[in-house]
Amino acid sequence: MTDVRIVGAGMTDFGVHDRPLAELFADAAVDALDDAACAPADIDAFYLGNAMSGQTDGDTHLAPTLASHLGMAGIPCTRFEDACATSSNAFSHAVRAVAAGQYDTVLVGGVERCTPATGLGTDEMTAVFASAAHRQYEQPTGLTFPGVFGLLTTRHMHEYGTTEEQLAAVAVKNHRHGTLNPRAQFGTETTVAEVLEGPVVASPFRLLDCCPFSDGAAAVVVTREDAVDDPESAPRVAGIGHATDAVPLATKADLTATQSARDAAAAAYAEADIQPADVDVAEVHDCFTGAEILAIEALGFVDTGEGGHAAVEGTTALGGEIPVNPSGGLKAKGHPIGATGVAQLVELTDQLRGEAGERQVPDARYALAHNLGGDAATTLVTVLDGGVSA
Query: Does position 214 bind a second copy by CB under 8 A?
Result: no
CB nearer to a second copy: pick between 128 and 207? 128
Instruction: Give the H/E segment covering residue 194.
Output: helix 192-197
**Binding to a second copy, residues 110-129 (CB under 8 A):** 127-128
Query: Does position 251 bind a second copy by CB under 8 A?
Result: yes
Q: Which of 8, 10, 64, 386 binds a second copy (CB under 8 A)?
A: 64
Residue 382: Cβ-neighbour burial (10 angstroms; 0-12, 13-18, 19+): buried
- CA dist 66 and 217 (Å) reads 12
CB nearer to a second copy: pick between 2 and 203? 2
Q: Which of 22, 38, 192, 196 binds a second copy (CB under 8 A)?
A: 22
Query: Does position 105 bind a second copy by CB under 8 A?
Result: no
Q: Which of 209, 245, 283, 385 binds a second copy (CB under 8 A)?
A: 245
CB nearer to a second copy: pick between 121 and 161? 121
- CA dist 58 and 44 (Å) reads 28
Q: Are 160 and 257 in contact (CB under 8 A)?
A: no
Query: Does position 148 bind a second copy by CB under 8 A?
Result: no
- Give the SS3 label for residue 137: coil
Instruction: Report which of 344, 288, 21 is spatially closest to residue 146, judged by C-alpha positions.
Output: 288
Instruction: Report which of 271, 270, 247, 269 is spatially closest to residue 259, judged by C-alpha positions.
Output: 247
Q: How many residues bind a second copy (CB under 8 A)?
A: 59
DSSP state of 204: T
Of 17, 309, 335, 370, which is the active-site residue? 335
- Close Cβ partners of 68 (under 8 Å, ≥ 6 residues apart): none
Residue 253: Cβ-neighbour burial (10 angstroms; 0-12, 13-18, 19+): exposed
CB nearer to a second copy: pick between 222 and 361? 222
- CA dist 310 and 333 (Å) reads 20
CB nearer to a second copy: pick between 112 and 347? 112
Four-point Cα dihedral 12, 293, 240, 384, nearest 10: 60
Q: What's the min distance (Å) between Cβ of 63 and a second copy? A: 7
- CA dist 316 and 307 (Å) reads 10
Q: Which of 35, 81, 292, 350 binds a second copy (CB under 8 A)?
A: 81
- Contact region for a second copy (CB under 8 A) — 75-83, 220-228, 325-333, 355-363? 75-83
Residue 355 burial (CB count, 10 A) = 11
Q: Which of 21, 148, 219, 339 binds a second copy (CB under 8 A)?
A: 21
Q: What's the min distance (Å) between Cβ of 2 and a second copy? A: 10
Query: Does position 265 bind a second copy by CB under 8 A?
Result: no
**Binding to a second copy, residues 336-375 (CB under 8 A):** 373-374
Query: Does position 378 bind a second copy by CB under 8 A?
Result: yes
Of 84, 114, 210, 211, which is the active-site residue? 84
Instruction: Report which of 113, 98, 108 is spatially closest to residue 29, judged by C-alpha positions.
Output: 108
> x/- string (CB under 8 A) for a second copy, residues 310-339?
------------------------------
Q: What's the min distance (Å) between Cβ of 76 and a second copy? A: 4
- CA dist 353 and 5 (Å) reads 13
Is 84 designated active site? yes
- CA dist 127 and 129 (Å) reads 5
- Give the SS3 label for residue 27: helix
CB nearer to a second copy: pick between 148 and 346? 148
Instruction: Report which of 54, 38, 144 is spatially closest to residue 338, judged by C-alpha positions.
Output: 54
Q: Which of 30, 75, 117, 207 binds a second copy (CB under 8 A)?
A: 75
Q: Which of 9, 29, 32, 67 binds a second copy (CB under 8 A)?
A: 67
Angle between helices 289-298 and 145-160 (to 10 degrees): 60
Active site residues: 84, 335
Chain contacts with a second copy (rule: CB under 8 A): 20-22, 51-52, 54-55, 57-61, 63-65, 67-68, 73-83, 89, 93, 96-97, 99-100, 102, 127-128, 130-132, 134-136, 139, 242-248, 251, 259-260, 263, 373-374, 377-378
